[in-house]
Amino acid sequence: MSDVFADLVGQDEAVVELRRAAAAAAAVLRAGAAALVAAGPVSRDASAADDAVTGAVDPSTGMTHAWIFTGPPGSGRSVAARAFAAALQCVHGTGCGECPGCHTTMGGTNADVRMVVPEGLSIGVGEMRALVLRAASTPSGGRWQVVVIEDADRLTEAAGNALLKAIEEPPPRTVFLLCAPSTHPDDISVTIRSRCRVVPLRQPPADAVAEVLVRRDGIALDVAQWAAAAAQGHVGRARRLARDPEARKRREAVLAVPRRLTGVGAAFDAASALIEAAEAEAEASVTEADATERAALETALGAGGTGRGAAGAMRGAAGQLKELEKRQKSRATRAQRDALDRALVDLAGFYRDALTMALSAPVAPVHTDTAALAGAGAQKWDAEGSLRRLEAVLACRAAIEANVKPRIAVEAMMLALWKG
């Protein structure tokens, strides 16, 4: 395994900052208990909070106990958080990738690193309280207790408050790493944000994404370059497009939409097709996990037992199974939304290509394979019509984000795309 930051694509500045912090953290550990007592208050007082606001890195406070990684989807927020967690557990340096600390963290088996990946639409207060409680224990490896919260923007308000309390009065060896799209109050509460240092990640350039696909995944250069451009800087999406024929097929179906919009009926048909494709994609992604989980829970609960107490056990089991079903339903809803959102991002890329062509802007198209079609659109719609269509797609995303029923939002979008 190479350096733990190797897969963090196109984020050089962030890596420098995180390495410096990991070095400072290691120094704290080396200095031992006395230094720890001295360093505790420093990371908690107002000057540290000020640093977080201005983004200034003062070597004396190079390490702090709460961080937020922000950036657009696919920029590598959780990759950065996991790599930093490994750097904190690294026994050789600041993320060598070779030692047991790095290895176990990257492999997801380090006892002192917890990754919280919400499966439903939000992270509940029960889950958060349990997590905060466990995070307060002494690190078994003698270094740091690290809690990584992916999609911290999906915390419920109550869960956010439970987390805030822990961040305000952190146990001396506990580090919280939050990932969120931005530090906008819609994503992360102002009070949590004020206690954290922010590490902004940018959308990685297509070249950097292509490079990592070739180096890490062994993908042919031309395929990697096409996928990196089509994925618009989203590393995970680029890898899927390069490797999964089903993902490519779904993308092609989405990019066929502009061609199909020939009338009102066709617009409604296209809306149905898009929604149903998202549902099918989501179902494929969760069905297997659902069945596995259910079987595991039934086994754990001793389903089918006939001994004394089995009936009572089964009554309790029914409640747990119901709880599992609730969680699975919530996960399915989220998978559907994510699939639909990916489709809308692809579609937005198409109209963005039409717009840049109408303006003769010197930028490469997002979708090289539909560039000719986008060019024809540019001629027909001109810049203004292309922009209106692009805005219709973005408005649809915003509406779904604001809880408008997806079918209604998508139908409105298709009509707008047809009429222009």
Q: Which is nearer to Zn ion, 90 or 366 (CB)?
A: 90
Residue 133 makes CB contacts below 8 A (sequence gap 6+) with none
Smallest gap from Cβ 409 to Zn ion, in A, equals 47
Q: Which is nearer to Zn ion, 81 or 90 (CB)?
A: 90
Q: DSSP string covering 163-188, please?
A: HHHHHHS--TTEEEEEEES-SSTTTS
- What string marks each residue from 181 to 220 as x (binds Zn ion by CB under 5 A) or -? ----------------------------------------
Smallest gap from Cβ 48 to Zn ion, in A, equals 26
Question: Is 326 exposed, middle or buried, given 0-12, 13-18 or 19+ CB atoms closer than 10 A?
Answer: exposed
Q: Which is nearer to Zn ion, 84 or 226 (CB)?
A: 84
Among 42, 99, 136, 223, binds Zn ion (CB under 5 A): 99
What's the per-residue H, E or C state across 92-123?
CCCCCCCCHHHHHHHHCCCCCEEEECCCCCCE
Q: Which is nearer to Zn ion, 8 or 102 (CB)?
A: 102
Smallest gap from Cβ 4 to Zn ion, in A, equals 7
Binding range to Zn ion, per CB under 5 A, among 100-108, 259-267, 274-282, 325-333:
100-108
> CA–CA distance from 345 to each of 160, 298, 339 (Å)?
29, 39, 10
Q: Which is nearer to Zn ion, 92 or 329 (CB)?
A: 92
Q: Which is nearer to Zn ion, 97 or 118 (CB)?
A: 97
Tokens of 416: 């707008």
Q: Which is nearer to Zn ion, 15 or 261 (CB)?
A: 15
Q: Which is nearer to Zn ion, 1 or 220 (CB)?
A: 1
Smallest gap from Cβ 61 to Zn ion, in A, equals 23
Smallest gap from Cβ 211 to Zn ion, in A, equals 24
Q: Is 17:95 a contact under the CB 8 Å cutoff?
A: no
Q: Which is nearer to Zn ion, 96 or 345 (CB)?
A: 96
* Under rule CB under 5 A, residue 1 binds Zn ion: no
Tokens of 329: 């339903």
Smallest gap from Cβ 67 to Zn ion, in A, equals 19
- What string marks each residue from 101 to 140 as x (binds Zn ion by CB under 5 A) or -? -x--------------------------------------
Smallest gap from Cβ 59 to Zn ion, in A, equals 22
Nearest-angstrom CA–CA distance, 386 and 235: 27
Smallest gap from Cβ 84 to Zn ion, in A, equals 12
Nearest-angstrom CA–CA distance, 196 and 68: 6
Binding positions for Zn ion, 57-96, rule CB under 5 A: 90, 92, 96
Nearest residue to Zn ion by CB is 90
Tell me what percent of the chain is helix, strand and coil, each rounded to the nearest 5. Answer: 65, 5, 30
Q: Which is nearer to Zn ion, 90 or 224 (CB)?
A: 90
Q: DSSP string covering 191-215, please?
A: HHHHTSEEEE--PPPHHHHHHHHHH
Q: Kindly determine how many residues on this chain lie close enough to bind Zn ion according to the rule CB under 5 A.
A: 5
Smallest gap from Cβ 170 to Zn ion, in A, equals 24
Q: Is 199:67 a contact under the CB 8 Å cutoff?
A: yes
Smallest gap from Cβ 369 to Zn ion, in A, equals 42
Instruction: List 67's β-bridge partners, or say none.
Output: 177, 197
Tokens of 92: 């050789």
Q: Helix H segments across 12-141?
A: 12-44, 46-54, 77-89, 100-107, 125-135
Residue 308 makes CB contacts below 8 A (sequence gap 6+) with none
Residues of this chain that bind Zn ion (CB under 5 A): 90, 92, 96, 99, 102
